[in-house]
Amino acid sequence: MKTVIALVVFAPSMLAAQHGSVGLQVAFGDYREVSSDLHYRGSGGGVAGSFTYKKLGIEASVAGITYDPVAGSSATVSFKATQLDVRVRYYIAGPVSAEVGFVNRKVKPEFEAQSMGAVRAGARMSYPLGPGVNMGLRAGMLFGSKFSGGGTVSGVGALELGLNMAVDAMKGRLRLTGDYDFQRIARTTGSGPGKADVPIQQALGRVGLAVAF
Amino acid sequence: MRHPVLLVTLLLVPAVLGAQTVQNATLRRAQTAYDNLDYRGALTLANTAQRERLNGFDRARAYELLALTYSAMDSILKAVAAFKEVILLEPERELDPNRTSPKVLSAFSVALTQVLVVRQLKVDSTDFVGGQGDVAIRYVVTQPARVVTRITGGAAPIKVDSSVANGQVNLRWPARLANGDPVPAGNYTVVVEATIGQNNFSASQPIRVTQGAVDTLPHLLSLPGYEYLPETEIPPKSWKPMGLALVYSGIAIAGTSALSSGDLGSASFREAGVIGGGLMAAGFVVMLRKPAPQPARGNILYNRLLREQLTRRNAEIAQDNIRRRQQVALRVVPMPRTGGGR
């Protein structure tokens, strides 16, 4: 009974302070590994959701992209990458928010490219361009990277950079979104004389339409 | 020199006698004799009329006729004595200085100084809030005398003033009881008593006091002369949205270029270009659009100050209205007099 009363009393004010959105995305990307010979480009789709409560924000997206070797590439087989991104953001001051989360990318067929997982930490600068138009720039590092083919990354070897925008439409009920993510992972394999640099680099663009609530 | 005075006197007597007509036949004959310049006959008939049964008006007219006749005959002392009787009978009697000879006026003035009467007792009609105003009372005392002014008609007489006075006297009565409360509504009488030794005279003026509620002030919806200012203002159009979109996109593209590994060939700018281009397009549209209203801090503070002033003023009005509801509005109106003094 007390819980019901508490919900009735506090729910309206809680709802007023929170925003959320769910939407579909079109994704397109560029993936390179080891050398410029292993170069793929692809496209696909995905879903994304976000939830904001006071200073706290959570974003999650899943994108499935089918990468095909570009012309002139030594690669011959396409692969499908399914990438899960989760970001938890906390507003600090001015335009700056701190961001933590993780990334997980599964590749099929396995070993055509590297599946990987890592924890991310960084910062985001957000700025309202005008009524209903927001943009953000983020930069961060990936920690604890794990790869399906093994290998390690130095402490500052995995970096990511992002640009995002959101344009509200229909009085904020719809939201047109655009996200750009760039990852550069300085992966190495082996040790000693057999140590080899096998970097991974992905540029991923996503354009979507979300329903806001 | 005597004839012009007599002529003027003759011409003015009917007007002086006023609108009320003389009832006694002997007095009318005396008046006719005076009009025909038969002063001896006028004196004889006027004295005869004095011995007859006369009403107050006729008796005053008989003495006045005697006074005028004695003045015409240069018997000033007798004229003064006759005028004294007139004044005692009709204390409010006045002679028109523009239509009466100086000799007659002089005799009348001398007579006024030789009798004790209170004349021209007047109470001004007035409205005021109980305790914040007063009633003006004025009268003329013809001789130096102890004059006591009272208000009667209530539970107990209220003494307004007691002093030795002569000539014009002006008093102010606050219309309050001894305990400070406003006098209750009702009919009262202003009584002025003048005393010199055994000689005394009193005059009175009835008044009506009514009570009413004091008007309260309405609450203010705005301060006169001050208006609220808009709390938002539309800033001028600026290049800032477009510039910021350009900077952010540039940082993203430059960052991509800087972070990309040299071993992997030149970086792909397709993805950054699409998102950055969309961002710049959005910035361009925002730049062209009417800017969103921004809070005007100065106006907000001004309006807050205005609201505080209005609240404070209304609180003062509310306090004032509480006080006003406890007050009484008094109206004092003089009523027609039923008789003269004595």
Mutate to test the interface with B, among A37, A135, A206 (most CBs of B within 10 A): A135
CA distance B76 to B94: 18
**pLDDT tens track for A11-30:** 444 444 678 999 999 999 99
Q: Assess whether pLDDT exceeds 50 at residue B257.
A: yes
Q: The pTM is what?
A: 0.54
Q: What percent of chain A lies above the pLDDT cut of 90?
A: 65
Q: Is B272 on the interface with A (CB under 8 A)?
A: yes
Within a 13 Å sphere around the CA of B176, how many CA atoms are in the beta-carbon half? 15
Pairing state between β B126-129 and B199-213:
unpaired
- Kindly state the greatest CA–CA separation across chain B: 157
CA distance B251 to B242: 14
Q: Which of A45-49, A102-106, B10-14, B115-119 comes out lowest in average pLDDT?
A: B10-14
Tell me the residues of chain B between 172 and 211 that have a Cβ less than 8 Å away from chain A.
none
CA distance A126 to A133: 11
More confident residue, B10 or A177: A177
For residue A203, the chain B residues in CB contact (below 8 A) are 256, 267-272
Q: Assess whether pLDDT exceeds 60 at residue B18.
A: no
Domain chopping of chain B, boundaries: 2-114, 118-209, 232-323
CA distance B133 to B131: 6
Cβ contact B241–A197 (<8 Å): no
Mean pLDDT of chain A: 88
State the ipTM, two decimals: 0.87
Here the tokens at position B273 are 């270009």
Which pLDDT value is given to residue A172? Answer: 83
Q: Assess whether pLDDT exceeds 90 at residue A126.
A: yes
Helix (H) or strand (E) holding B155: none
Cβ contact B255–A129 (<8 Å): no
**Nearest CA of chain A to the CA of B130: how many Å?**
55
Band (pLDDT 50/70/90 cuts) for residue B251 is very high
CA distance A97 to A3: 33
CA A71 to chain centre: 27
| A22-212 under CATH 2.40.128.100, yes or no | yes
Before B334, cis peptide (omega within 30)?
no
Helix (H) or strand (E) holding A29: strand A18-33
Sequence letter at residue B105: L
**pLDDT tens track for B202-242:** 999 999 999 888 888 899 988 889 999 999 998 888 888 89
Q: What percent of chain B lies above the pLDDT cut of 70?
A: 93
Q: Is A207 on the interface with B (CB under 8 A)?
A: yes
Q: What is the mean pLDDT of residues B45-64?
A: 91
Q: Assess whether pLDDT exceeds 90 at residue B176.
A: no
CA distance A130 to A136: 13
**pLDDT tens track for B112-138:** 999 999 999 999 999 998 888 899 999
For residue A36, the chain B residues in CB contact (below 8 A) are 263-265
Which pLDDT value is given to residue B13? Answer: 46
Q: Is B56 on the interface with A (CB under 8 A)?
A: no
Cβ contact A137–B252 (<8 Å): yes
Question: Number of residue pairs across A and B with CB atoms under 8 Å?
Answer: 120
Mutate to test the interface with B, among A34, A43, A73, A129 (most CBs of B within 10 A): A129
Which pLDDT value is given to residue B342? Answer: 54
Hunting for tokens 């992209």 — which residue is that?
Answer: A65
- Decide: B113 and B142 in contact? Cβ < 8 Å: yes
Hunting for tokens 């301060």 — which residue is that?
Answer: B223
List phi, psi (to 5°) of B194. Answer: -115, 135
Q: Assess whether pLDDT exceeds 50 at residue A3.
A: no
For domain B2-114, the CATH architecture is: Alpha Horseshoe (1.25)
Spatial CA neighbour of A133 closest among B284, B315, B6, B193:
B284
For residue A205, the chain B residues in CB contact (below 8 A) are 270-272, 274-275
- Decide: B188 and B334 in contact? Cβ < 8 Å: no
Q: DSSP secondary-structure letter at B236?
A: P
What is residue B299's three-state secondary structure?
helix
Q: Assess whether pLDDT exceeds 60 at residue A37.
A: yes
Which pLDDT value is given to residue A11? Answer: 44
- Homologous superfamily (CATH) of B118-209 is Immunoglobulins (2.60.40.10)
* Torsion angle in degrees (nearest 10) through CA of B42, B48, B51, B55: -50
Q: Is A127 on the interface with B (CB under 8 A)?
A: yes
**pLDDT tens track for A138-192:** 999 999 999 998 889 987 889 999 999 999 988 889 999 999 999 999 999 888 7
**Nearest CA of chain B to the CA of A130: how many Å?**
6
Which pLDDT value is given to residue A115? Answer: 93
